[in-house]
């Protein structure tokens, strides 16, 4: 029976339709977990809210933009400094957080004056910054503050600034995926086509769905530069507000994270005729395939093959060294959505690792279609998993390493299972050829580290466990 009801879910039998155990010859169309639906009452979801999807994932990455959060201070604090989005201008986006700091009296009497005051204060304190995104949150949406009217008035008073409004309170969707969609569609409708930039190459792209986690964008930009391709806009890793207004000028939209940013690529195609091309940038085989697809579009295949050959010569020997030592290791992936299908086959092909369990917080059914097609028989696929399910599945699959976020990571440390930050990385970047070697190195260091073995020992035990030889050698 492919759909599984775990023991911990016996009082919430509806969870069975969200958990799939892949079996040989299953028809994936009939066995996909239900996804992108409201969390079942009684289960403790680990999803992020819709506001988080807009601000933390996409908007907050921009390097030259004030992120004004119209709501309580907690909404600002909880979406700041939780991911590593470096920039080449001194990490402006990670240094500061802005909030209207709504209190009870503002909720009662309205917060529009508070918002206008906060916007003016932010621009006055940072006169070199002329761009801003304003976000609504649950309380300010519920009381009906007219955020757009406030923004229009500020822009009238300050003609040198430009402000984008994202009306996406946390309750407006079932997960952070709703926030992705709202920001994507709002930007294409209101801002794309309102600016132009100088074109320096006959080959131009938008690189969409890359957020420069620990320098992913920096690494991939080297590839585009060596290929002679001009990136009109990065959506949104190390990106600028005004570059994103120029997305209509590109000849091709190259999409990496289809879940968070595929919407804007589709709209660019419909509205401006910019074709969409999806690639994977994690893993040697996938990265090489992606480069070949982009180069084939522009007719510069020789440049692409030269780049791939150079990168393979430089990094493949190191990857082979790690693969020899990681082959047969088991991994669980407990992240957001698309990384499940980006990683499951690439770690198997390039590192010899078996992915045995996956959970998605905000993936849609099409994400599960992709990952199930790429995954192995006997693997668990779970939508909107909770901690009890997590621990029960771990007992079934017994992974050697888990890719997840720090919140769950702190729990599994107590189980003496190594974890790697699947959201913000441990020692990235992880994209590209060099990046995947970094990922392999982190997995090797995690699985061969003797500390977790020693931490599991009770010093009062008269017969302590003997450290495995492989850990002794690594130590």
The answer to whether domain 50-173 and domain 204-307 are alike in fold is yes
pLDDT in tens, 207-264: 999 999 999 999 999 999 999 999 999 999 999 999 999 999 999 999 999 999 999 9
Where residue 446 falls among pLDDT bands split at 50, 70, 90? very high
Where residue 439 falls among pLDDT bands split at 50, 70, 90? very high
Question: How far, in Å, CA of 177 to CA of 54, rounded?
Answer: 8
Q: Is the peptide bond before 236 cis (omega within 30 degrees of 0)?
A: yes
> Domain locations in the chain?
50-173, 204-307
Token reading at 58: 């996409």
pLDDT in tens, 40-70: 998 989 899 999 999 999 999 999 999 999 9
What are the C-alpha distances in Å from 178 to residues 234, 366, 462? 21, 15, 55
pLDDT at 457 > cutoff 90: no
pLDDT in tens, 360-387: 999 999 999 999 999 999 999 999 999 9
Superfamily of domain 204-307: Nitrogenase molybdenum iron protein domain (3.40.50.1980)
Question: How far, in Å, CA of 118 to CA of 127, rounded?
Answer: 14
Neighbours of 44 (CB within 10 A): 10
Where residue 344 falls among pLDDT bands split at 50, 70, 90? very high
3-state secondary structure of 334: strand
Superfamily of domain 50-173: Nitrogenase molybdenum iron protein domain (3.40.50.1980)
Token reading at 272: 């401006």
What are the C-alpha distances in Å from 147 to residues 101, 115, 163, 164, 242? 15, 8, 11, 10, 22
Q: Which range (59-63, 276-280, 289-293, 368-372) has the least confidence?
A: 368-372
Question: How far, in Å, CA of 237 to CA of 466, rounded?
Answer: 46
pLDDT at residue number 465:
66
pLDDT in tens, 412-437: 888 889 999 999 999 999 999 999 99
3-state secondary structure of 469: helix
Where residue 132 falls among pLDDT bands split at 50, 70, 90? very high
- What are the backbone dihedrals phi and psi of residue 218, each rounded to the nearest 5 degrees, phi first? -60, -45
**What angle is formed at CA 298 by the lines to CA 302 and CA 350, rounded to 5 degrees?**
60
Q: Is the peptide bond before 429 cis (omega within 30 degrees of 0)?
A: yes
Token reading at 42: 């009684």
pTM (2 d.p.): 0.95
What are the C-alpha distances in Å from 287 to residues 23, 62, 220, 280, 434? 29, 25, 10, 6, 11
């Amino acid at each position: 029976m492919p759909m599984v009801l775990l023991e911990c879910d016996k009082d919430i039998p509806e969870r069975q339709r969200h958990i799939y155990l892949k079996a040989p010859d299953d028809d994936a169309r009939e066995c996909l977990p239900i996804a992108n639906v409201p969390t079942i009452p009684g289960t403790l979801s680990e999803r992020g809210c819709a506001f988080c999807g807009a601000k933390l994932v996409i908007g907050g990455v921009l390097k030259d933009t004030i992120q004004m959060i119209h709501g309580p201070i907690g909404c600002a604090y909880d979406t700041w400094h939780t991911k590593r989005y470096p920039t080449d201008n001194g990490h402006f986006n990670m240094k500061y957080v802005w909030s209207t700091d709504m209190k009870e009296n503002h909720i009662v009497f309205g917060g529009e004056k508070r918002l206008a005051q906060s916007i003016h204060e932010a621009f006055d304190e940072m006169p070199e910054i002329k761009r801003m995104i304003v976000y609504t949150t649950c309380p300010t949406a519920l009381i009906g503050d007219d955020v757009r009217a406030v923004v229009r008035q500020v822009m009238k008073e300050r003609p040198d600034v430009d402000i984008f409004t994202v009306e996406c309170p946390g309750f407006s969707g079932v997960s952070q995926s709703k926030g992705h969609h709202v920001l994507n569609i709002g930007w294409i409708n209101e801002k794309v086509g309102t600016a132009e930039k100088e074109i320096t190459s006959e080959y131009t792209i938008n690189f969409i769905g890359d957020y420069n986690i620990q320098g992913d964008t920096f690494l991939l930009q080297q590839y585009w530069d060596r290929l002679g391709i001009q990136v009109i806009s990065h959506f949104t890793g190390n990106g600028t507000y005004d570059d994103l207004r120029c997305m209509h000028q590109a000849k091709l939209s190259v999409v990496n994270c289809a879940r968070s940013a595929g919407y804007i690529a589709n709209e660019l195609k419909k509205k401006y005729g910019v074709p969409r091309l999806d690639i994977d940038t994690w893993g040697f085989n996938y990265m090489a395939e992606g480069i070949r697809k982009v180069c084939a579009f522009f007719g510069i295949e020789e440049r692409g093959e030269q780049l791939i050959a150079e990168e393979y010569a430089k990094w493949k020997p190191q990857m082979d060294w790690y693969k020899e030592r990681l082959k047969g290791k088991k991994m669980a992936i407990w992240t957001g959505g698309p990384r499940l299908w980006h990683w499951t086959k690439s770690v198997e092909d390039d590192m010899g690792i078996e992915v045995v369990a996956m959970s998605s917080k905000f993936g849609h059914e099409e994400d599960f279609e992709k990952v199930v097609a790429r995954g192995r028989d006997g693997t668990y696929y779970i939508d909107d998993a909770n901690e009890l399910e997590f621990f029960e599945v771990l007992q079934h699959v017994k992974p050697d390493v888990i890719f997840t976020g720090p919140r769950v990571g702190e729990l599994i440390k107590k189980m003496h299972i190594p974890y790697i930050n699947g959201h913000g990385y441990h020692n990235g970047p992880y994209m590209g050829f060099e990046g995947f070697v970094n990922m392999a190195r982190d997995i090797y260091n995690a699985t061969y580290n003797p500390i977790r073995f020693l931490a599991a020992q009770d010093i009062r035990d008269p017969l302590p466990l003997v450290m495995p030889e492989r850990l002794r050698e690594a130590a």
